[in-house]
Each structure stands twice: as C-alpha cells, then as structure tokens.
Amino acid sequence: MNQNFAAIILGGTGQVDGAAVAELLAIPECREVVMVTRKPIAPRSRVRNVVLDTGAADFAERTAALAREVLSQGPVSAVSCVGVGSGSMRWSEEELKRLELGVVGAFARGSHYAGIAQFCLLSAVGSTARSRFRYVRVMGTKEDTVRSIGFTRLAIFRPGIIVGNAHTPDWVGWLGSLVPGPFGTIDQRILGRSIAAEIALHSREAGEVIRENAAMKELATKFNSVTLGFLRAV
C-alpha cells in the first residue's frame, strides 16, 4: 500500500467526489486531501480547502503551484470527479465542453506541469469522441484531452448508472439493476472506494487503465481485503 500519500481533488462537494473523499480519509496512510473548489467549504480533519477560480485563464498555473507545494511533502495523486449529473440534458454542448474539457483539462495540465504522475478521471460508460450522442461524445473527448497530457498513470473510471446518488431517481436505479454488465448499476460508495483503492494500491504503476462496473467492484472488494489485513497486522 502507498505510504503517506495525499490527493488533490477537483471539487469534492458533489455526490461521487464526496464519496471518494470519504473513502480516502478512511485510509490512515492518506496524510491530506486537498479540495479545489470555487467556494469555501466547512473545515474537516485532514482536509484542506483551496478556493480557485476554475474559469480563470491562469487556473492551470495556479493548480500547478498548489500541486508543487503539496508534492513537497510527499507523493500526490490528482482526481477529477467533475460531472454535470442529471442536469446534462439542460446544458448545451458548448457549456459541457467548457466544464468537462476546459476546467478538467486545465486542472489536469496543471497537475502534470507540477510533476504529479497519477491522474484519476471520472468519465461515463461507453464514452467515445466518435459517438453521435452529445454527452457520450463530450465524455470521450474529455478522456482524449487528459490522455494527451501524458500522465505516467491514468485511471479512467466509466460507471454505468450510479445509485445511492441524489441525481439518480429510484426508478432509474431499479431499472438499471436489471441491466447486466457495464451499463448496469454501481453504488457511488463503491465507485468512490475504487478511486481511493487505485491511489493507495496502484500509484507507482505506469500506463492507462479503464475501469468499468465489474472492475471497480472487484478493485473495491480487493481493497477492503488489503485494508483489513493491514489493520490486523498492526
């Protein structure tokens, strides 16, 4: 398990990113979670909130300066769980691109400039820049944007229907439970745990990994076993 690590997460106040923060804080080896937000949030133990204007022209440079400071204390991974959720149908493609490509892209570039090797990216099942569906196409383009930056380790998370989430109506989750495979349901706590597990267990590895529902559930289960064994050992 990665010892004495930190994570810089873009956001952290939403549904999935909140779950990821909670799972990271449950790991004793996580020394700090730095949440980059547009507005201040309530203080929490081992959480540092840094307020930045994500739409500013120098957002990437400010992210890099922050990342360098956190890196001076030890290993750091960067995480983006930014997403529109159920409101995506009300957004134009240009608005989606400003968030998913502009803000996330700038955050990723700043993280890479600073020397962060591992980046965890929340995307969506079936994402491809060649899709005729707007949301899927933007998600695929976001993946390509981050991929082109050149992180040593890039982990892309492609959940199906996220349940346990305020953005997902109960009836949608019920229907999703009938769908097998990557387009079915995954609990946001499992998704958050798989992101934490990727950082704790795989930050020193190289290459790109794409995790869909089954892989995320498997990683979360593996991480539970590793953590339990570690706690028993101490």
Percent of the chain past pLDDT 90, that is, above it, reads: 65
25-38 pLDDT per residue, tens: 999 999 999 999 99
The mean per-residue pLDDT over the stretch 210-232 comes to: 78
- 177 against 126, higher pLDDT: 126
pLDDT confidence of residue 82 = 85
Q: How confident is the model at residue 90 (pLDDT cuts 50, 70, 90)?
A: confident
Structural domains of the chain ordered from first start: 5-233 (3.40.50.720)
HEC profile of the chain = CCCCEEEEEECCCCHHHHHHHHHHHCCCCEEEEEEEECCCCCCECCEEEEECCCCCCCHHHHHHHHHHHHHCCCCEEEEECCCCHHHHHHCCHHHHHHHHHHHHHHHHHHHHHHCCCEEEEECCCCCCCCCCCHHHHHHHHHHHHHHCCCCCEEEEECCCEEECCCCCCHHHHHHHCCCCHHHCEEEHHHHHHHHHHHHHHHCCCCEEEEECHHHHHHHHHHHHHHHHHHHHHC
pLDDT confidence of residue 87 = 56
